[in-house]
Structures are given as structure tokens and as C-alpha cells.
Structure 1
Amino acid sequence: MYYLKTLQKLCIVNKDLNFYVYYSKKLYAKTIRKVKSYICAYMIFLVTK
């Protein structure tokens, strides 16, 4: 999260990074969602074992 905030601060100086921050945020959100669903699937697997 700190890394993203730093990128956002840089964007105020360098507008070219705006796209990169936007894209990396979307990518980050997608990854978190995937990880969450994997954890849920694993928990269900453990419970039904």
C-alpha cells in the first residue's frame, strides 16, 4: 500500500504515471480478489474433509 501511495504522490509531479497507478491498482484489486477466493475454497476443503 505504501508503494502505491508513493506512486500517487509522484503522479502529481509526473502525469505520465497516472495511467500506471490506475492500472496497478486494478491489478492489485484483482489479485486480492483471487487470493480471497482461493482461501475460501481452501477453508471449505478443510471443513468438508
Structure 2
Amino acid sequence: MDLVAIQQMLGHWHVGTTMRYVTPSATFIEDAYRRATSNTLAALSEEPELS
């Protein structure tokens, strides 16, 4: 779930307050890393080569 959505549901003014209650799972972090890596590699492979 989106951190900002959790913040609003709990009625917190600052996201830092919400972060006290949130602990991401290891699989969440791994999945985010894989997505970021895949997206970056895909974007780099799509760029035209400079001559």
C-alpha cells in the first residue's frame, strides 16, 4: 500500500510519524530493487547510440 495513503488513513500530518509504524518486508525491498534495476536497464537499452 502507498505510504501516503497510510499516512492519510491514520491522520498523520507528517510522513515521518507514519514511518514509525511501517516496516517493509524483505520481499518488498527485493521486489522494489528488481523493478528499479529492470526499468533502468530497459531504459538504457532503448536509448539510441551516438555516432
TM-score norm. by structure 2 comes to: 0.47
Q: Whose RCO is larger (CA < 8 A, sep 6+)?
A: 1
Which structure shows the higher helix fraction?
1
